[in-house]
Amino acid sequence: MRPASLLVALVLAAPSWAQDAVRGRQLYETHCGGCHYERVHQRERSRWQVKSLAGLRLEVARWAEQLKRPFTLEDLDDIAEYLNRSHYRFEK
C-alpha cells in the first residue's frame, strides 16, 4: 500500500477519535492560514468541492501530504473538526 493510500485509509478510520476543534483552529491558523485564508470556506455551498465530512477529512489529509506538513492523524482530525464546526457543518 502506498503511503498516501495508507494515510487516506487511516483518516477515514479515525472519525471515532475525540476531536478538538479549538486545537484544530490553532493548527489551521498556524500552518494553513498563511495561504489558505478563511474566505475560501465561505463560498457558495454549490461551489464546494467537499461534499461530506469524510470528504473534508480526505481533503485535509491530501493537502497536508501535498505540502509535506508533519501532522499526526489526531492533528488532521482536529483540523477537519474545526473546519466542519466553523464552516461546513456536515452531520457526523
With cell 501530504, the residue in question is 65
Going from the C-alpha of 26 to that of each of 42, 80, 89, the distances in angstroms are: 19, 12, 19
pLDDT for res 49: 83
Distance CA 84, CA 53 (A): 7
pLDDT at residue 29 greater than cutoff 80: yes
pLDDT at residue 15 greater than cutoff 80: no
Q: The whole model's pTM is what?
A: 0.75
3-state SS, residue 72: coil
Query: Residue 70 corresponds to which cell in the numbers above?
Result: 508533519
pLDDT at residue 74 greater than cutoff 90: yes
pLDDT at residue 41 greater than cutoff 70: no
pLDDT for res 57: 94
Ordered alpha helix ranges (H), the chain: 3-13, 21-31, 53-66, 73-83
